[in-house]
Structures are given as structure tokens and as C-alpha cells.
Amino acid sequence: MLLRRVSVAGAIVIVAAVAAVAAVAAVAVTLLARELVGGGGRASLTVTVAGRSVHVVEGTTLAGAAARFGLQPRAGDVVDVNGQALRAGVVAGSFLVDGRPASPETRLRSGDRITVVDGHDRREPLVRRVVRVTGGMANNPQFTVSHTPGEQVIVKGALTHELLSVQFRPSGPARVEQAVALTFDDGPSPQYTPRILAALTRLRVRATFFVIGYLAEANPDLVRQELRLGMAVGNHSYNHPEVPPFAQLPPQLLTDEIALGEQVLSRLGARPHLFRPPGGSTSPRLVAAAAALGQRVVLWSVDPADWRPGSRAKEIVKRVLAAVRPGSIVILHDGGGDRSATLAALPAIVRGIRRRGLHLVALTANPRAAQGATGSP
């Protein structure tokens, strides 16, 4: 306080001296003169406003100077977790005098520095939840039937409940299930899907069907039948584009293929939220695009190439049983061509797997919290 008084006195003296010897530029003299007159003859102070040196009459308040020089800090917004404004212009800006917050009534002293501080955008408060994942979490992309124990750390906006992030924290190594998942791609096929479903039902097997969107649209009853029989139904894209490899599609097209396929399935009541890219073509970008739509990418670990023209049932059985082990995901086909060999191979495949003490399971979605995009409460 004492220091400041000294400096005020000093500045007044300097201003007076400068005026007396008339050694300032004409503009400055004019400004000074106007301040002196406008202030009713009161002394003038030199202060720095937003980096510019100016004169004000003695007794000028911070609010007065702000009005006089048109200083208006920009108000900030309250924004959601994605940076969208929720409430515009509600975080007021402020003035600092000599780097410290000051009230509008503060009387300025010579040498004071006034700084305009815009209101910062303020993000809505966040809520963080830790959820233990009972049964563990499948990998993404998933190649085998295995689950990693751990917990999900979920961060959402407290106002909008929009999802900011979900992170899985493993608490131990992945557990491979004593199970094998049979999966069937490229259906539904009016010719083969009903027969494959009948065989699976006879064998009491739950399997997973990765269906093509436009075929599911054309054969909705087959998808409903799959669901009714306890099968899982996953998304195999809408059009099954193969050239260029699926993961190399332009980003928008890739997202559309996943989203359209999923929409067809949602309308039919299928909710496993699993996506198998055509040809198994994958990339980190594809996994992220699918995750943004709430879907996990599922590939496979055993491919007996039942789709290869001329494949015989015996060969398909042999290739599956030679490769299968705990946790295997086996890719077969119920659509896309003559599937009679696949159909004929099923009983021996199922028996062979069970003889090793392995269960046959349908694939399931990860816990709901694991799914990315929507963040409703």
C-alpha cells in the first residue's frame, strides 16, 4: 500500500513535469488537456489499459475506465463434454488491476495496469463411475472366446450424461473359456439358413450368425427365427463390399456400411452389437469406427474354408477338428453359395468339439457400459 502511494505521487509529478516542459507529442497534449478539462480541472493519472498507456482523471474508478475505453471482456460458455455450448455467455469475464482481481468501484492510481480477462469456457462437471465387469471383457477385435477380468471407468457429463470416455482396467490375465463359438456368415439364405438352423437345433447348439444387411432386410423372418432359436445375430455390413478390402473403404462409406447393417438388425430386435467385417478385413480405424457405433469387432481363429468351391463335408470336419481348441471361434457360412457341405459337416463338427469337453456357445455383447457412443443415463 505504501509503495503504491509513493508510486502514485511520483507519477503525478512526472505527468506534471512533462506537461510543464511541453516535451510530449501534440496528440498526447490534446488528450491530457481534454482529460484535465473533462475532469473539472482535477489532476490526470497515467494508467495502462489493455497494454496501452492512457490518461484518466484522478478519482476514476475501474468501472469508469472500462466504460470510457469500451472495455468488455467476452463472456465464456458452459459447454458439454463434446465442446458444444449448453449455456452461451454465462461465464463472466473480469478485470485485473496490477494482475489482481478488483471490484468495479476500485479507484485507479497512476501506474495501475488494467487487464481484460475473457471468461473461459467452462466444461460441465463430470461424473466418474467405476463398474466391475462381472464375467470379464472380450477383446476388441475379438479372435477367441476369452474374457479379461477388470473394471470400467466411465466418465460422463453431469448435466448432459453424455459419454466422455470409457476405459477398461484389467485386473488379471485373460481367461480362455472351455468353449467354442460356431459362427455363420453371409446369410440369411432362404435355401440353407433354415436347414442349418434345424441342424443346430437338433444338436442343441447355440451359434452366432453374422448377417448381411440387405439379405436380412429381404428375409426378416429368417433373422427372427435365428433369434427365436437362441442364436446370436451380428452385423456383417449392409452390402458386403469386398473391393477394396473393407478396412480400406473411405471413412464415411465404412461407417455407413456398419451403421446401416446395424439399423436393419435393431429393427428386427437383434442386439448383440457385434460386427464382423467382410473378408475379416480390419484395422484400428475400423475398430474405432465400429466402437463409435457401439459395436465390437469379431473375427475368428479357425477357418476351414467351407466357402471354397468343391469343399467336401469330410474335409471341413477334419480342418475344424485339427485346429479347434478352448476358446476357438470357427467361421462357417450359411449363405453365399452352395452350403450343403457345411450343412453335412455340422453333426461331426459338434460331436468332435464336445468330445474334447468343450461347450458350444453363442457370442455375447460386452457389458452395456462398454459400448461407446450413446451416453444416455
The residues binding Zn ion (CB under 5 A) are: 185-186, 278
**Count of alpha carbons within 13 angstroms of residue 266, beta-carbon side:** 11
Pairing assessment for the beta strands 329-333 and 126-137 based on DSSP bridges:
unpaired
Joined together, the cell numbers standing for residue 40 give 473539472
Nearer to Zn ion, 157 or 278 (CB): 278
DSSP letter string over 85-151?
EEEEEEE--EEEETTEE--TTPBP-TT-EEEEEPPPPEEPPEEEEEEEEEEEE--SSB-BSEEEEEE
Q: Which three cell numbers stand for residue 110?
A: 497512476
d(CA 78, CA 80): 7
Minimum CB separation of residue 124 from Zn ion in Å reads 43
**Is the separation of the CB atoms in 77 and 87 below 8 Å?**
yes
Q: Of 185, 186, 306, 334, which is the active-site residue?
A: 185
User: 188 or 278: whose CB is closer to Zn ion?
Assistant: 278
Cβ proximity to Zn ion, 95 vs 210, nearer residue: 210
**Which is nearer to Zn ion, 35 or 185 (by Cβ)?**
185
In angstroms, the Cα distances linking 120 to 104, 116, 123, 264, 286 are 20, 12, 9, 44, 36
Grid coordinates 465442446 are at which residue? 83
Q: Which of 317, 362, 308, 339 is nearest to 145 (CA)?
A: 362
> Considering the complex, what minimum distance in angstroms separates the CB of residue 278 from Zn ion?
5
Distance CA 213, CA 307 (A): 20
| Residue 185 is among the residues annotated as catalytic for this protein | yes
Nearer CB in complex with Zn ion: 185/262: 185
One-letter amino acid identity for 149?
Answer: P
Residues 179 and 157: beta-carbon distance below 8 Å: no
The answer to whether the beta carbons of residues 166 and 370 sit under 8 Å apart is yes
CA distances for 91 relative to 103, 124, 360, angstroms: 17, 12, 58
What is the rounded CA–CA span in Å between residue 290 and residue 370? 13
Nearer to Zn ion, 156 or 236 (CB): 236
Q: In the bound complex, what is the minimum distance in angstroms from residue 335's beta carbon to Zn ion?
A: 8
* Beta bridge mates, 298: 142
Minimum CB distance to Zn ion smaller for 99 or for 309: 309
Cell numbers at 197, concatenated: 438352423
Q: Which of 55, 236, 273, 333 is catalytic?
A: 333
- Active-site positions read 185, 333
